[in-house]
């Protein structure tokens, strides 16, 4: 007579959680570590391809494309490895429908990818965020200068400096110090930039008189110099705006491709976990093993 017995752990299996957190954290650790290694390798290759000299090394477009490709490759390889480890190391679910096993394997791969992504975000993207923030702050400062913030910097943050100067204007500029003359000229130029990029007739005439007084130029020559400098200031404003637009577009494309790379990582992690889980279920325990395990079926022969 042959009877079949199961351990208490096997009888309670339907009430246990279907999540193997140990396998998930193991896969996440492997994915995060491999991501860090590949990112460092990519950074090294990028620095090797660039050059501080003009017209040498890889172009900005080539570096951008290679960065996107490397990000995709990093996500696919690292997430795939993490998902495979999570699926291969999870516990074996006996007496479950095949669809349920496939769902659990897919969920294990996705959870391993999610944990690894959070770890990478804290360790890697934190540093990158500081660099991006510094660059964005520098770009915002350049735009502010182009928009007229130089008025504030030259007037000790006094927004009424231009109007105060207008109160004390005479028919012609009086003799003042170099710093005072530079401050008045800066406020007049900043006022023109903040308006429509041109000086009012009164400001143009007064500024030309101030220039003629300090440079010994004729009034006509001083007015021509004022127009030339105002055109240069306007050109600097346009260039600052173009640089800001370029930076905004680059940030938008970087965010879009990062989103796509993360989606690819989640997909490949889930597929790799499904593959690892299938291989895990094909494992055959050798007969005569000295160590028993929970849920192992035992056959007892009775005479």
Q: Based on the structure, what is the number of domains in the chain?
A: 2
* Assigned domain for 186 exists: yes
Cα distances (Å, whole numbers) of residue 294 to 100, 146, 193, 218, 280: 21, 72, 79, 101, 17
Give the per-residue pLDDT at 8: 46
* Assigned domain for 147 exists: no
Domain check: are 129 and 201 in the same one?
no
Domain check: are 56 and 121 in the same one?
yes
Host domain of residue 199: 152-238
Domain check: are 28 and 128 in the same one?
yes
Give the per-residue pLDDT at 164: 66
* Assigned domain for 272 exists: yes
Domain check: are 13 and 129 in the same one?
yes
Cβ atoms within 10 Å, residue 110:
19
Sign of CA dihedral 108, 109, 111, 115: positive
* Assigned domain for 243 exists: no
Give pTM, 2 decimals: 0.61
Higher-confidence residue: 240 or 182? 240
Instruction: Determine the average pLDDT of the residues in 46-58.
Output: 75
Confidence grade of residue 299 (pLDDT, cut at 50, 70, 90): very low
DSSP code of residue 174? P
Answer with the one of 206, 238, 270 that is the final residue of a domain. Answer: 238
* Assigned domain for 145 exists: no
Give the per-residue pLDDT at 3: 44
* Assigned domain for 54 exists: yes
Query: Given a cut of 50, is residue 242 above it in pLDDT?
Result: yes
* Assigned domain for 144 exists: no
* Assigned domain for 183 exists: yes
* Whole-number Å distance between alpha carbons of 58 and 46: 9
Domain check: are 218 and 267 in the same one?
no
């Amino acid at each position: 007579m042959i009877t079949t017995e199961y351990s208490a752990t096997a009888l309670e299996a339907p009430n246990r959680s279907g999540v193997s957190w140990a396998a998930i954290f193991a896969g996440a650790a492997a994915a995060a570590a491999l991501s860090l290694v590949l990112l460092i390798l990519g950074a090294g290759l990028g620095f090797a391809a660039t050059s501080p000299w003009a017209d040498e090394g890889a172009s900005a477009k080539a570096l951008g494309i290679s960065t996107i490709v490397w990000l995709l490759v990093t996500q696919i390889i690292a997430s795939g490895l993490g998902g495979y480890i999570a699926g291969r190391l999870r516990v074996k679910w006996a007496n479950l429908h095949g669809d349920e096993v496939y769902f659990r394997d897919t969920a294990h791969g996705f959870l391993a990818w999610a944990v690894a992504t959070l770890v990478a975000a804290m360790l890697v993207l934190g540093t990158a965020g500081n660099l991006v923030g510094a660059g964005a702050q520098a770009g915002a400062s350049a735009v502010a200068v182009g928009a007229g913030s130089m008025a504030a910097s030259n007037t000790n943050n006094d927004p009424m400096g231009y109007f105060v100067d207008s109160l004390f204007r005479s028919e012609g500029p009086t003799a003042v110090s170099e710093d005072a003359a530079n401050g008045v000229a800066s406020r007049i130029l900043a006022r023109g930039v903040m308006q429509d990029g041109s000086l009012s007739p009164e400001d143009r005439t007064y500024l030309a008189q101030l220039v003629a007084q300090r440079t010994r130029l004729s009034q006509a020559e001083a007015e021509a110099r004022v127009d030339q400098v105002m055109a240069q200031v306007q050109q600097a404003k346009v260039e600052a705006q173009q640089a800001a637009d370029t930076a905004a577009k680059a940030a938008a494309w970087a965010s879009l491709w990062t989103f796509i790379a993360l989606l690819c990582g989640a997909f490949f992690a889930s597929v790799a976990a499904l593959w690892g889980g299938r291989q895990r279920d094909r494992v055959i325990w050798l007969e005569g093993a000295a160590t028993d395990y929970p849920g192992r079926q035992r056959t007892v022969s009775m005479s």
